[in-house]
Amino acid sequence: MRKVLVLEDEDSIRSFVVLNLQRAGYQTVEASSGEDALELMKQNPDIRLALLDVMLPGIDGFEVCRRIRASGKRVGIIMLTARSQEMDKVTGLMTGADDYVTKPFSPAELTARVDALYRRIGDSDTAATPRSGEISSPPFLLNTRNRTLEKNGQRIKLTQVEYTVMKLLMENPGKALSREEILEAVWGRDYYGEVKIVDVNIRRLRLKVEDDPTTPTYITTVWGYGYKWEA
């Protein structure tokens, strides 16, 4: 599980950040003070990324950043800075932060930064312990050995055909696949039925995997062509 520490003293901002990270497939640990954050970092050695607000009642975010760096742990750090404090970025990067996000930020901006940093940190780990037989596309994990799909660690029951469609999509993140292409890959060249079967299976898959099947965000429609897996 990809665990992220969220340090922010303002409840509304913290909840907003936590909600959006969870939607993006991350597990979150929350702190409202720098002191708490450092304690939680000790208790959760598997935290790989920390979002640190700068302005806090006790020790500030820069100091938390400095102390995390001093601990020698390999953790990605993103500072949450205020627009009025332009110097924050510089100071943040000086104290060892990897990136910063300026408030107010959109959920898309936040998760994009977190995903990007997580990918950078995660890369070397993946190389060290190759997890073959798995296709990961948070919050989804497809296990190709026992042909199962998990979303946020929860098993989603799929038919064999649905599984095969899902695998094809997840193997081609961001790529528009034509309905004919999907038909051939899943049902085979000799299939004599209609291409409509692709749509039927996509519709069923959406009911199982989408947060809101009426507005799909994972399996999107490429109008007049086919479908795409949004990585």
* Residue 68 to residue 86: CA distance in whole angstroms: 23
- Is residue 88 close enough to count as binding Ca ion by CB under 5 A? no
Chain residue at closest Cβ approach to Ca ion = 55
- CB 77, CB 68: distance < 8 Å: yes
Q: Which of 47, 49, 53, 101 binds Ca ion (CB under 5 A)?
A: 53
* Residue 6 to residue 56: CA distance in whole angstroms: 13
Question: Of 55 and 116, which CB lies nearer to Ca ion in the complex structure?
Answer: 55
Stretch that binds Ca ion, among 1-9, 24-32, 184-192, 212-220 (CB under 5 A): 1-9
Question: Of 53 and 98, which CB lies nearer to Ca ion in the complex structure?
Answer: 53
The four Cα atoms 146, 149, 152, 154 give a dihedral, to 10 degrees, of -70
How far is CA 203 from each of CA 23, 24, 85, 143, 154, rounded to the nearest angstrom? Answer: 21, 22, 48, 22, 20
Q: Which residues between 9 and 48 bind Ca ion (CB under 5 A)?
A: 9
- Is residue 55 close enough to count as binding Ca ion by CB under 5 A? yes
DSSP strand pairing (76-82 vs 99-103): parallel
Total binding residues toward Ca ion, as defined by CB under 5 A: 3
- Is residue 63 close enough to count as binding Ca ion by CB under 5 A? no
Query: Which parts of this chain interact with Ca ion (CB under 5 A)?
Result: 9, 53, 55
